[in-house]
Amino acid sequence: MSKRQGLDIARGRELIYSRPHVAAVDQGFWHPVWTIDKYIDHRDRIARAARAGLNNREIMAQFDPQHTRLMRQGNCLLNAGINMMWTAIAGTGATLFNNANAYIGVGDSSTAAAPTQTGLQAATNKTYQPMNSSYPTYGASQLCTWQSTFSTSQANYAWNEVLVCNSSGGTVALNRYVSSMGTKTSAASWVASLQVTLS
C-alpha cells in the first residue's frame, strides 16, 4: 500500500454582486412669469385696444403712452386648481381655463400664498376681469399665456395678489401670487398677463 495520501481539496467561493440602486425620476418644471403693463390712459382708449387683442408693441406704436412694465416670477399652485387640471386632462366635467371661462383676479391682500387657499384673500378690494380677445394662447413652445385688462375705473387700489381662475367669481383658482405690484389709479389702465412654461 502506498504511503502516498490523496487529498481532496475543495475550494468554494460565494460571490455577492452589489449594484447601486438608481431611481429614475421624471421632473416637470412649471415656470410662471407675471407681467403687468401699466399705461397712462385717456378715455380708456388703451384698455379698449388691449381687450381687442393689440399687444404691447402695437399699443406703444399706436398710442405712444407713458408706460412701465413690471415682471415677477413665481406663484403658488392651488390644490383646487391642480385637481381641476387633472379633471380636464383625464376626466370629464371640468370648467376649462379658456377664453370663455378664464379670468385674472387681483386684490389687495398680502396674506402669504398657500396651496389650500381657493382664491383671492382680499376682503373687499378684489376684481376679476375676463380674457382679452384671443387669450389664452397655447399649443406651441410648451407654454400658455392668459391676459386681462383693467381699465381706468377698475381695481384702483394696491395690487398685492393676482391669480387665474375659471369663473367671474373665482370659483376655482389655478394659482395665486403675492407681491407688492404698485397702486393702480383712475389715470391708468393695467394689463395683467401670466405666461406659464411647462417642461
Span 7-37, pLDDT tens digits = 444 454 554 445 555 555 667 789 999 999 9
Entry pTM? 0.86
Name the strands in the sheet holding 103-107, side by side, starting at the edge strand that comes first in the sequence.
76-77, 175-178, 161-165, 103-107, 126-130
Query: At 98, which helix (H) or strand (E)?
Result: none
Boundaries of every domain in the chain: 30-198
Cell of 94: 371640468
Span 136-186, pLDDT tens digits = 999 999 999 999 999 999 999 999 999 999 999 888 999 999 999 999 999
Span 56-109, pLDDT tens digits = 999 999 999 999 999 999 999 999 999 999 999 999 999 999 999 999 999 999
Residue 128 CB neighbours (<10 A): 22
